[in-house]
A and B are shown apart, each in its own frame.
Chain A
Amino acid sequence: MRPFSLIRPTTLAAARARALAEPQARPFRAGGIDLLGLMKEGLRAPAELIELHALSATEGAEMRALAATEGGLRVGALVSLAALARAKGLPPSFEALREAASSAATPAIREAATVGGNLLQRPRCWYLRHPDLECLKSGGASCLAEGGENRLHAILGGGPCYIVHPSTLAAPLVALAATVTILGGGGRRTLPLEELFAPPRERIDAEHRLAAGELLLALELPAPAPGLRSVYEVAKEKLSHDWPLAEVALSVVVEGQTIRGARVVLGHVAPIPWRALAVEQALVGQVASAELFARVAPLASVGARPLAQNGYKVALTQGLVRAALHRACDVPIPE
């Protein structure tokens, strides 16, 4: 790593001001997992790291909160994945979030990694991360995955770059209709988490819509509707420390046997957390059953345009959606 200095602001304003002066050279540091990785790989060489854990108790309170709100939940950006995974009293409706938080990375990484960092980490694309290659995101002229080794890349929403979004928390948070609060030049703003993510067509240098110096403060999960259940399903080649090949987080509101609402979000198949709207629409108003799930699961990949090596993600995603629906609606899988 290149030498740098560690700045420890105690107020949000100081932190932001410091970063704004030279955004590229002065990133915020929270868990530091992805940031140190990028620095060690030579992909970033900041002059300063702005240490968010240095915020004073009052200034950092919102970013550190993990608290119930009226039926919902507030999760500060500095909450660690481990703290989220072992939080007591998380409503059962938020099971997808707990499952995802305890499935990401490794136990030691989860202790350090933060919710904010998980949402804002850079993609794992091996072309982006290669020190001797330049892809669209690292200043080159074209996406190297498109005609290359793209087994792990996007089947949905790709182009001109085909990364998959690396956040494991994003899918369950979107499935649970989280909103995110951001502190920027105009003060605080709150938007649906879905809107935080920027596809490559919109922005190539980052995967989010934060402006320079903006800080992600916290997420808020609204009170779940009665009968809401959520699950997270993931497929990995390796059960110990591996990135997902594909994942799905979904929430359903079931009344009796009838599905009244559904949010189905796919991860690691698109450059942003991907709403499977066709599946959601096909579920609402229907009676939960194995037949229904078998019928709607293929809709998960509507619009998919696989590259040469990642066509398998179509069937895989459909399988995960089907499995998740069975579990969420408590419908036994026929043998």
Chain B
Amino acid sequence: MSQEEDSLTKNVRLRLGFADQLREVTVTTPKDEPRPWDADSALTVVGQPTPRVEGSLKASGAAVYTHDVRLPGMLYAAILRSPHACATLEHLDVAAALAQPGVVAAVPLAKVGDRLRFAGHDVAALAARSRDEARAALSAIAVRYRPEPFVVDTLEAMQPGAPQVHAAAVSERRTEGDEPGEASGGAARGNVRLGPSQSKGDHKKGLRQAKVTHSATYTTQVHTHSALETHSLVVRWEDPRRMTVWCSTQGIFSVRDEMAEIFGLKPADVRVITEHLGGGFGAKFGASAPGSRLGYAAGELARRAGAPVSLCLDRREEQLCTGNRPDSIQQVTLGAGADGALTAIHVVAHGSGGIATGAGVGRSAFGVYSRCPNIKVESHDVFTNAGPSTAFRAPGHPQGAFAIELAIDELAQKMGRDPLALRLAHVEHAVRRYQLELGRERFQWAARRAEAEARRARGARIRHGVGVACSIWGDYGRAKAAVVTVSVGRDGAIFVRNGAQDLGTGIRTVLGQVVAEVLGRPLAEVTVLIGDSELGPSVGSGGSQTTSSVAPAARNAAEMVRAQLAELAARLLDRPISELSWGTDGSARAGRRSLPFRELCQKIEGEAVVASATRPKTYGAHPMRYPGGDNYQIAGVQFAAVELDTWTGELRAAEILAIHECGRTHNPLTARSQVQGGVLLGVSYALMEARVIDRRFGQVLNPNLESYKIAGARDLPAIDVVFCEVHTGANSTGAVGIGEPATIPTAASIACAALHAIGRPVRSLPITPDRVLAALAGQDGA
């Protein structure tokens, strides 16, 4: 015992697990860490479906987004962009633009001699008194390009002799939206930049042992984030060394650091405000995507003009220049023994994030069917002269899941096995197995599969199909990254402060819930202030890490505040602190005496009791670790039912059952919203979204929300969301992420259901009528 007391850690016994699989587990935490909430913790605020605290603000149109910031004297910026897929800048002079009506400042964003590597590349920016004056003045900028050979097609770019997109080696740009891990080494061969592989066993041996094999190529399209609020920022210089930036960002501190670096300022002298943010999905870390200089443009224009500058991209710019999910070409080979057991999984993936890196295919093939002893997944970036990829909700995973899951179904079809049974035989994660079994019953898997097959057999015009797929993601809650401050004033007012931004997930509400829970006060008494770098360091909202990084820090800070209040109460009640307990209304009790919360607060010396805290690195990963890490592996499964009109090839998602977990569900109302949104994003990706680029001209043909098709309210399947709460012992509140897992398996499950309905696979996304009709006509793969 004494040894343990001396050390910096302590062991606690927690009840961890899920459903009926709960057990006592010893977890080691830092010594000053509160006892983590586990399966035995009876909570009253956390875990309750709670409308978001800013809900009425958003519903009344009063919420201010970066697009809506209006400052006295503010100017509006516009950007001149290269119309060429690849060109060398031969001449650039912005001076003439300064003579145009309303124009106040202009700056070059590229230098003569620069290679502009995609159609849409920044060239110059100007600021004017109105938006249309700014836009109109762009044509006055004198510019001359020398077009260069280019390549926009991923396969063509892989050929020897293809135009070289980057002359020099490209280092990987990683943001908080990317899955944590080592940046890849990046040996290059032409436009192909070799990525690291995930490997276990010997896949070649496994394939030699196989009695049945399946090998096919799966392709996915470029998917654009298409957040409704375009990338935008407003810069105001407070003095020559200090600026305030309003930015539509999911990474306030990444913008702060970027702006500080660009302008040689101290990070502390850059204040970044994101009160509300109109969607990000991974594209809004830093002020702009690779190859783009939005932060410099707005900041430099504001500096030269001596006035605040608002830079809000238009929709075309947003679709061209601010990010996308790379495409993929995945060669999948599976082997299975006579008993149906997988002997090998081998995936070779290529994908293009345009001029940027980031075309991996996630961990589905490597991590989900982990009972397969031999697995190798290789993925490589292919550079093309197209707009940059950025992190996009579960980078790599939806495309990876699509290929491996459809390949598994095709193998099952070949072996005459039920695809769900084949999955269950290879899934190790107890939670995922539980979810698959739960879904089998809830979705009436066997009955619906039989009904669909009967329809197909009798040649019905409308066919049905049922499929299932899994998600894998990690708990990336970050240690010591978010500092949350909790204060209780003499008037009893409770404030929670942190510089996190709300991506739309409802983090304000969760922070309030956690603090209300600890202090035993109603949520309405807690004011949560976020969205401003001055409110304390925080994490970017990517990797599904916000809640799990910030909520435990909030709890820890609230516990420290409560400890201070306890000391005060003990003194006031004149009892030793060990006798003190707390009522559910926040009152302090000792013996028969009790002190209501407000009375206690009135006795606070000075203005308030304040504490700031962070959270330590994850201390538990029960019951299953993520491959290659110490963090918990988040499990999820989705079942899809599709309806197919064989006469027209129209295939619709009719129903999705989404079974997920986010550790301890802090707010089931907003968590459910996350899952519903993730599912619809997946439906849209599966069935309609695709960036179309003309390979002869290197031009994107649908940089809009018209022919780049996003699912609308009429395209919505019935979505049944089931949470399976897991006590992981990861942190003091038990939060793990949900945003990304929710969208990973949707397209894969729909593709599997499409195979079931058609009888043949559609191996390319999106599954549009042209491909469905080809598959119905007997073309394999379509």
Contact = CB atoms under 8 A, between A and B. Distances in A.
A311 B652 CA distance: 21
Contact of B714 (A240, A309, A318, A319): A240
A238 B696 contact: no
Nearest to B770: A312
B6 interface: no
Given A126-B701, A333-B461, A149 B650 contact: no
Q: Which of B119, B647, B766, B777 has the most CB of A within 10 A?
A: B647
B712 A240 contact: yes
Interface string A113-154: 000000000001011001111000000000010011101100
A134 B458 CA distance: 50
Most buried by B among A147, A237, A333: A237
Nearest to A106: B712
B709 A238 contact: yes
Interface residues of B, number: 39
Contacts of A243: 706-707
A322 B647 CA distance: 8
A309 B770 contact: yes
Nearest to A319: B647
Interface string B761-776: 0000010111001100
Contact of B696 (A147, A237, A315): A147
A310 B773 CA distance: 11
Contacts of B770: 151, 309-312
B701 A130 contact: yes
Given A126-B707, A237-B769, A309-B770, A320 B648 contact: yes
A239 B701 contact: no
B217 interface: no
B773 A335 contact: no
B132, B460, B706 interface centre (most CB from chain A within 10 Å): B706
Contacts of B694: 127, 133, 144, 148-149
Interface string B683-695: 0000110001010
Interface in B662-707: 687-688, 692, 694, 696-697, 699, 701-702, 706-707
A88 interface: no
A309 B652 CA distance: 22
Contact of A235 (B461, B648, B711): B648
B567 interface: no
B439 to A, nearest CB: 26
B715 interface: yes
A209 B41 CA distance: 77
A316 interface: yes
A56 B710 CA distance: 42
A182 interface: no
B178 interface: no
| Chain A binding surface SS class | loop
Given A1-B132, A237-B688, A124 B769 contact: no
A312 B460 contact: no
Contact of A323 (B647, B697, B709, B714): B647
Interface in B735-782: 766, 768-770, 773-774, 777
Main secondary structure of the interface of B (DSSP, over half): loop
Contact of A132 (B119, B461, B688, B696): B119
A237 B768 contact: yes
A238 B699 contact: no
A133 B694 CA distance: 11
B715 A319 contact: no
B645 A240 contact: no
B1 interface: no
B404 to A, nearest CB: 26
B709 to A, nearest CB: 5
A149 B692 contact: yes
Contacts of A235: 648-650, 769
Interface in B589-641: none
B136 interface: yes
Interface string A225-256: 00000000001111111110100000000000
A323 B646 CA distance: 11
B338 interface: no
Contact of A133 (B458, B699, B707): B699
Contacts of A320: 647-648
B713 interface: yes
A321 to B, nearest CB: 9
Contacts, number: 93
Contacts of B337: none
A323 B648 contact: yes
B649 A239 contact: no
Contact of B702 (A126, A132, A237, A333): A126
A257 to B, nearest CB: 22
A239 B715 contact: yes
Contacts of A147: 696
B34 interface: no
B709 A245 contact: no
B373 interface: no
A311 B649 CA distance: 13
B647 A238 contact: no
Contacts of B692: 126, 149
A2 B136 CA distance: 8
Contact of B688 (A144, A151, A238, A315): A238
Contact of A241 (B652, B687, B712): B712
B649 A315 contact: yes
A238 B651 CA distance: 10
A130 B85 CA distance: 14
Contact of B774 (A312, A318, A323): A312
Contacts of A310: 770
A36 B651 CA distance: 34
Contacts of A131: 83
Contacts of B702: 126
Nearest to A1: B132
Contacts of A318: 647
B243 to A, nearest CB: 33
Contacts of B710: 238
Contacts of B777: 315
A335 B712 contact: no
Contact of A239 (B132, B458, B647, B714): B714
Residue of B688, B694, B710, B714 most packed against chain A (CB within 10 A) = B694
Interface in A241-275: 241-243, 245
Nearest to B767: A237
B769 A132 contact: no
A315 B702 CA distance: 25
A238 B701 contact: no
A152 B713 CA distance: 23
A144 B707 CA distance: 17
Contacts of A152: 707
Contacts of A312: 649, 769-770, 773-774
Interface in B62-92: 83
A94 B697 CA distance: 45
Nearest to B139: A42
B701 A149 contact: yes
A106 B223 CA distance: 24
Contacts of B136: 2
30 contacts: A1-B132, A130-B699, A132-B699, A133-B697, A147-B696, A148-B696, A149-B701, A151-B770, A152-B707, A236-B650, A237-B688, A237-B768, A237-B769, A238-B688, A238-B709, A238-B710, A238-B711, A240-B715, A243-B706, A243-B707, A245-B769, A310-B770, A312-B649, A312-B774, A315-B773, A315-B777, A319-B646, A319-B647, A323-B647, A335-B458
Rank and list the top 8 A-B pairs by shortest CB-CB distance, nearest first.
A240-B712, A319-B647, A312-B770, A239-B714, A240-B714, A126-B701, A132-B83, A235-B648
Given A237-B688, A238-B715, A312-B774, 9 more contacts: A130-B699, A131-B83, A235-B649, A237-B650, A237-B709, A238-B710, A239-B714, A320-B648, A335-B458
Interface of B: 83, 119, 132, 136, 458, 460-461, 645-650, 652, 687-688, 692, 694, 696-697, 699, 701-702, 706-707, 709-715, 766, 768-770, 773-774, 777
